[in-house]
Chains A and B, each alone.
Chain A
């Protein structure tokens, strides 16, 4: 256990070792949040009292603000980390350590996520908060929010893991990762709220594993989910989690065999 915690700290400090990296991270997050806020302020100007697809303007911008925040919090570089290690052969170095190589990489990625959160989205989000008409939440909604958030983080690890593992079968992992990033951005509701998508796309998104990543926690924060909705959303999250787990385990054993057959 202490070894994995050490890896979390290593993941954190590896990124913090470069001052230029910290400054670019702050810039990147300022841009991500800034563009999003300016864009939706423009759309929402003069819409007081109106709702768009069940969302008032403050709810919409809170949805997106939280979505970007959560996305940056739960997302990690596990996919890229695994992909580079597998294609460069450095993964062999992980295989000879007395630890679970997957959990080791997950731990290091969690460290990276914590770095991105503490040096990127947290300060920038806090600095921009006064410029956004944010909607608060109630104490009663917090457990559901926390629960769906934990599930989101776990599912995100699985999705990134599966995407990264694909580099055992492809030389052009960048394509796989770009596809994953696009799907996540659109279907999780980080780009536009899922409710704003065309109906067919919205229902596709709701049933996809990606909605669980940000859409579901944000809706529980906003109190837009009835008890029934929440149960259904949690059931969908759980079902996807199982599917992803089976998929990940199957792929890992196949990857291990292929790695052995081609000589690493």
Chain B
């Protein structure tokens, strides 16, 4: 793939997106039950305020990708809509390259590319090229760099056969590739991806992820991705923010998340015959079957070295590697006690 580069003076480490103490409330209507209730509601509607986001602080720097995780209704989409300046925060400020949407909306918007997996922004009846041309004009890209950039994007996202076909005749995966290419035409300094792989088949997901990680490596773009597809986050995100009920409940990288909330390595061994010898973390299920847990690779190695001394002949070994999924389920479970989510124990 050809590397993409943008004529933007962004220094590594300097934050491009800065979200400071942002809060947002929504209005929600509460309905009374039944026909009589509906009639009462006409005259005396009950309205309540929902805290969609509470005091959120985030920084994303150029060349960095932040993964947003959290259950439905955690506030991820609200946060993305706030950064995209679709919504206005009740309190706090969002800056991109030091710009505020309230004071210079258009300059602010020229810095960002937004991709909604659930909603295409391509023009349904016309070829993709029309959107690219429109974006060239709206984002004031000069013809020289436009031509060069489109050529690189066509190569990188493999669009040569798609660019002159009406959007309605493209598959979901093809549309998503075009969509991302389109938002990259203006050369944004921030890329917001809201569930970019939703609905895509495995191959399309895989292709999209490798394109995005290539883009992250080659272009100095700050990325923010929200997804329920954990592979997206694992492959793309340099750090992870887990949100729940409008608050940040975890901020760190994937390793830290797994270490803090993960279950460790789980080992299950079936042997011909065992000595039933004791070892830390080992539980004998029967005379020839044992189950063990190891928090890290060091304990795991120690355990695997001990195994031959305890069992005469090993028939089967199954090691479950700690995953982001397990850690997340543990984290969600801890926040909603009584709701058993994780498959372990």
Our count of residue pairs bridging A and B at CB distance below 8 angstroms stands at 67
Q: Does B126 contact A (CB under 8 A)?
A: yes
Q: Does A7 contact B (CB under 8 A)?
A: yes
Chain B min CB distance to A47 (Å): 48
Q: Does B27 contact A (CB under 8 A)?
A: yes
Which A residues touch B133, using CB under 8 A? Answer: 6
- Interface segment, one of A10-18, A181-189, A197-205, A237-245: A10-18
Contact between chains at B84 and A13 (CB < 8 Å): no
Which B residues touch A261, using CB under 8 A? Answer: 26-27
Q: Does A260 contact B (CB under 8 A)?
A: yes
Q: Could you tell me the distance between the alpha carbons of A246 and B133 in the complex, rounded to whole angstroms?
A: 34
Partner of A96, one of B107, B114, B126: B114
Contact between chains at B121 and A93 (CB < 8 Å): yes
Chain A min CB distance to B76 (Å): 13
Chain B min CB distance to A240 (Å): 30
Partner of B86, one of A13, A15, A264: A264
Contact between chains at B123 and A3 (CB < 8 Å): no
Contact between chains at A10 and B27 (CB < 8 Å): no
Q: Could you tell me the distance between the alpha carbons of A2 and B125 in the complex, rounded to whole angstroms?
A: 21
Contact between chains at B110 and A98 (CB < 8 Å): yes
Q: Does B130 contact A (CB under 8 A)?
A: yes
Residues A96 and B87 in contact in the complex (CB < 8 Å), given A3-B134, A14-B126, A17-B125: no
Kindly report which residue of chain A lies nearest to residue B25, judged by CB atoms: A261
Q: Could you tell me the distance between the alpha carbons of A184 and B55 in the complex, rounded to whole angstroms?
A: 50
Residues A263 and B78 in contact in the complex (CB < 8 Å), given A6-B134, A7-B134, A89-B119: yes
- Among A7, A10, A17, A96, max chain B CB count under 10 A is at A96
Q: Does B285 contact A (CB under 8 A)?
A: no
Chain A min CB distance to B82 (Å): 10
- The interface bits of chain B over 94-130 (1 if a CB of A lies within 8 angstroms of the residue's CB, else 0) are 0000000000011101101010100101010110001
Which B residues touch A92, using CB under 8 A? Answer: 81, 84, 86, 116, 119
Q: Does B166 contact A (CB under 8 A)?
A: yes
Contact between chains at A96 and B84 (CB < 8 Å): yes
Q: Could you tell me the distance between the alpha carbons of A90 and B122 in the complex, rounded to whole angstroms?
A: 11
Residues A17 and B110 in contact in the complex (CB < 8 Å), given A3-B134, A7-B134, A263-B26: no
Q: Could you tell me the distance between the alpha carbons of A97 and B88 in the complex, rounded to whole angstroms?
A: 16
Partner of B81, one of A10, A18, A264: A264
Q: Does A99 contact B (CB under 8 A)?
A: yes
Contact between chains at B121 and A17 (CB < 8 Å): no
Which A residues touch B107, using CB under 8 A? Answer: 98
Which A residues touch B54, using CB under 8 A? Answer: none
Which A residues touch B109, using CB under 8 A? Answer: 96-98
Q: Could you tell me the distance between the alpha carbons of A66 and B137 in the complex, rounded to whole angstroms?
A: 37
Q: How many residues of chain B have a CB within 8 Å of chain A?
A: 30
Contact between chains at A260 and B87 (CB < 8 Å): yes
Q: Could you tell me the distance between the alpha carbons of A89 and B126 in the complex, rounded to whole angstroms?
A: 20
Chain B min CB distance to A5 (Å): 8
Residues A99 and B138 in contact in the complex (CB < 8 Å), given A13-B126, A14-B125, A264-B81: yes
Contact between chains at A95 and B85 (CB < 8 Å): yes
Q: Does B6 contact A (CB under 8 A)?
A: no
Kindly report which residue of chain B lies nearest to residue A7, judged by CB atoms: B134
Q: Does A262 contact B (CB under 8 A)?
A: yes
Kindly report which residue of chain B lies nearest to residue A258, judged by CB atoms: B27
Q: Does B139 contact A (CB under 8 A)?
A: yes
- The interface bits of chain A over 251-263 (1 if a CB of B lies within 8 angstroms of the residue's CB, else 0) are 0000000001111
Chain B min CB distance to A98 (Å): 4
Q: How many residues of chain A have a CB within 8 Å of chain B?
A: 24
Contact between chains at A262 and B87 (CB < 8 Å): no
Which B residues touch A95, using CB under 8 A? Answer: 84-86
Kindly report which residue of chain B lies nearest to residue A89, judged by CB atoms: B119
Residues A96 and B112 in contact in the complex (CB < 8 Å), given A14-B125, A261-B27, A262-B26: yes
Contact between chains at A93 and B119 (CB < 8 Å): yes
Q: Does B52 contact A (CB under 8 A)?
A: yes
Which B residues touch A98, using CB under 8 A? Answer: 105-107, 109-110, 138-139
Which B residues touch A93, using CB under 8 A? Answer: 116, 119, 121
Residues A263 and B126 in contact in the complex (CB < 8 Å), given A89-B119, A97-B109: no
Q: Could you tell me the distance between the alpha carbons of A263 and B26 in the complex, rounded to whole angstroms?
A: 6
Chain B min CB distance to A248 (Å): 19
- The interface bits of chain B over 1-39 (1 if a CB of A lies within 8 angstroms of the residue's CB, else 0) are 000000000000000000000000011000000000000
Q: Could you tell me the distance between the alpha carbons of A93 and B123 in the complex, rounded to whole angstroms?
A: 11
Chain B min CB distance to A124 (Å): 24
Q: Could you tell me the distance between the alpha carbons of A18 and B166 in the complex, rounded to whole angstroms?
A: 11
Q: Could you tell me which residues of chain A, from 1 to 60, have a CB within 8 Å of some CB in chain B?
A: 2-3, 6-7, 10, 13-15, 17-18
Chain A min CB distance to B183 (Å): 10
Kindly report which residue of chain A lies nearest to residue B108, judged by CB atoms: A98
A to B CB contacts below 8 Å, 24 in the list: A3-B137, A3-B138, A6-B134, A6-B137, A10-B126, A13-B125, A14-B126, A15-B125, A89-B119, A90-B119, A92-B86, A92-B116, A92-B119, A93-B116, A93-B119, A95-B84, A96-B84, A96-B85, A97-B138, A98-B106, A98-B138, A99-B106, A99-B138, A261-B27
User: Which residues on B are within 8 Å of A, measured CB to CB?
Assistant: 26-27, 52, 78, 81, 84-88, 105-107, 109-110, 112, 114, 116, 119, 121, 123, 125-126, 130, 133-134, 137-139, 166
Q: Given A10-B126, A92-B86, A261-B27, 7 more contacts at CB 8 Å?
A: A3-B134, A10-B130, A15-B125, A17-B166, A90-B119, A95-B85, A98-B110
Nearest first, the 10 closest Cβ-Cβ pairs linking A and B are A98-B106, A3-B137, A98-B109, A3-B138, A17-B125, A93-B121, A14-B125, A261-B27, A2-B137, A263-B26
